[in-house]
């Protein structure tokens, strides 16, 4: 059974295939008469709406629930929940705190499990980010992507996808908040052109084709917010940071954003920002992924 717990569950040609399908309208109704269960343990705007509408466009019926309604890890185990839901649904999607919950669901599930964000990874966002950069640049291979701020779930999945796409990676993170040596080895093994870690945002953005950032404190890490505010001081993506990027470089953010913290209003609301295109691409990327998974698991 093929699952999608992180981007490297796809081989490089499969990733290209999914991104190609995002631009296609000939998907038909592969989920006709089928259900898709979507569990959300954390808040969501983009993911819930893009998944529900993507399922509907494929002819299926989405059923969204909060894990407290069904008692994940309390009333019953992720494994039992997945085994039961697989009898009603063609796909299971889940947004969780612990990535291990997704692994626990995927292991016994007779249908694909899709990670809708965990503390460790946000692969549906990465598909969107790659799709958006491809729409802007044409070809990803050889382009440089800069990540400024926290090497969080969004950063990790983006780095995996960018590596599989043959891009160069630049990280501008405070000490202690960047990728580990193991992460860097993984990016290089997957095909990253080059991986650079620096501790100044201007240095990371210099010459980059796309400058990405995200909140300093992700959902579930609120107890660390004060420490993080101190650690990330000086890491805002502002006009000075963007000025050093490549001509025509874009600014990207998965949203929700905090203007005046990780990004200035002049940048996120300025001409280089593609954040709304990125958000809209969540629908096209998810529909393509669900279409591909539905087909792949029925070969």
Non-local (6+) Cβ contacts of 21 within 8 A are: 27, 288, 291, 292
Whose Cβ is closer to ligand CP: residue 124's or residue 294's? 124
Is residue 45 close enough to count as binding ligand CP by CB under 6 A?
yes
* DSSP secondary structure of the chain: ---BSSGGGS-HHHHHHHHHHHT-S----TTTT-EEEEEESS--SHHHHHHHHHHHHTT-EEEEE-HHHHTBTTTB-HHHHHHHHTTTEEEEEEE-SSHHHHHHHHTT-SS-EEES--SS--HHHHHHHHHHHHHHHS--TT-EEEEES---HHHHHHHHHHHHTT-EEEEE--TTSS--HHHHHHHHHHT-SEEEEES-HHHHHTT-SEEEE--SS-TT-GGGHHHHHHHTTT--B-HHHHHTSPTT-EEEE-S---BTTTB-HHHHTSTTB-HHHHHHHHHHHHHHHHHHHHHHTT-
Is residue 218 close enough to count as binding ligand CP by CB under 6 A?
no
56, two tokens: 């509907």
Is residue 254 close enough to count as binding ligand NVA by CB under 6 A?
yes
Is residue 214 close enough to count as binding ligand NVA by CB under 6 A?
yes
Q: How many residues does the chain have?
A: 299
Q: Least distance (Å) from ligand NVA to the CB of residue 49?
A: 13
Is residue 47 close enough to count as binding ligand CP by CB under 6 A?
yes
Residue 214 binds which of ligand NVA, ligand CP, none (CB < 5-8 A, kind-dependent):
ligand NVA
Is residue 66 close enough to count as binding ligand CP by CB under 6 A?
no
Whose Cβ is closer to ligand CP: residue 46's or residue 89's? 46
- x/- track of binding to ligand CP for residues 253-272 (CB under 6 A): -xx-----------------
Kindly indicate which of the ranges 130-138, 146-154, 166-174, 237-245 contains the residues binding ligand NVA, using the contact rule CB under 6 A.
Answer: 146-154
Residue 162 binds which of ligand CP, ligand NVA, none (CB < 5-8 A, kind-dependent):
none
Is residue 215 close enough to count as binding ligand NVA by CB under 6 A?
yes
Is residue 218 close enough to count as binding ligand NVA by CB under 6 A?
yes
Give the residue at shortest CB distance from ligand CP.
47
Kindly indicate which of the ranges 53-61, 91-99, 198-206, 215-223 contains the residues binding ligand NVA, using the contact rule CB under 6 A.
Answer: 215-223
Kindly indicate which of the ranges 13-21, 40-48, 84-92, 97-105 contains the residues binding ligand CP, using the contact rule CB under 6 A.
Answer: 40-48
Considering only CA atoms, which of 88, 54, 47, 49 is closest in space to residue 293? 54
25, two tokens: 């309208």
Whose Cβ is closer to ligand NVA: residue 57's or residue 153's? 153
Per DSSP, what are the bridge partners of residue 65?
39
Is residue 219 close enough to count as binding ligand NVA by CB under 6 A?
yes
Is residue 44 close enough to count as binding ligand CP by CB under 6 A?
yes
Whose Cβ is closer to ligand CP: residue 67's or residue 168's? 67
Q: Which residues bind ligand NVA (CB under 6 A)?
A: 117, 152-154, 214-215, 218-219, 254
The residues that touch ligand CP, with contacts defined as CB under 6 A, are: 44-47, 117, 125, 254-255
């Amino acid at each position: 059974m093929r699952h999608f717990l992180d981007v490297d569950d796809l081989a490089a040609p499969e990733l290209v295939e999914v991104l190609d399908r995002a631009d296609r309208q000939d998907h038909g109704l592969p989920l006709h008469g089928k259900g898709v269960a979507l569990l959300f343990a954390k808040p969501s705007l983009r993911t819930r709406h893009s998944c529900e509408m993507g399922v509907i466009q494929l002819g299926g019926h989405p059923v969204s629930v909060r894990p407290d309604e069904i008692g994940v890890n309390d009333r019953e185990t992720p494994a039992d929940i997945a085994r039961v839901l697989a009898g009603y649904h063609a796909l299971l999607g889940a947004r969780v705190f612990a990535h291990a919950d997704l692994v626990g669901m995927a292991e016994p599930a007779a249908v694909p499990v899709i990670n809708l964000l965990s503390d460790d990874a946000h692969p549906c966002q990465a598909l969107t980010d790659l799709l958006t950069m491809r729409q802007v640049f044409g070809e990803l291979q050889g382009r440089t992507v800069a990540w400024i701020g926290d090497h969080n779930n969004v950063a990790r999945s983006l780095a995996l996808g960018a590596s599989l796409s043959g891009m160069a990676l630049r990280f501008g993170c405070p000490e202690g908040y960047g990728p580990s040596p193991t992460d860097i080895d993984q990016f290089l093994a997957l095909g990253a052109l080059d991986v650079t870690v620096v501790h100044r945002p201007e240095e990371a953005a210099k010459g980059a084709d796309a400058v990405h950032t995200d909140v300093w404190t992700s959902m579930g890490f609120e107890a660390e917010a004060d420490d993080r505010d101190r650690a990330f001081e000086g890491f805002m993506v502002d006009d000075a940071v963007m000025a050093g990027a490549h001509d025509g470089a874009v600014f990207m953010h998965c949203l929700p954003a905090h203007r005046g913290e990780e990004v200035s209003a002049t940048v996120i609301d300025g001409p280089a920002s593609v954040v709304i295109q990125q958000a809209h691409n969540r629908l096209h990327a998810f529909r393509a992924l669900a279409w591909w998974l539905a087909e792949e698991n029925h070969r």
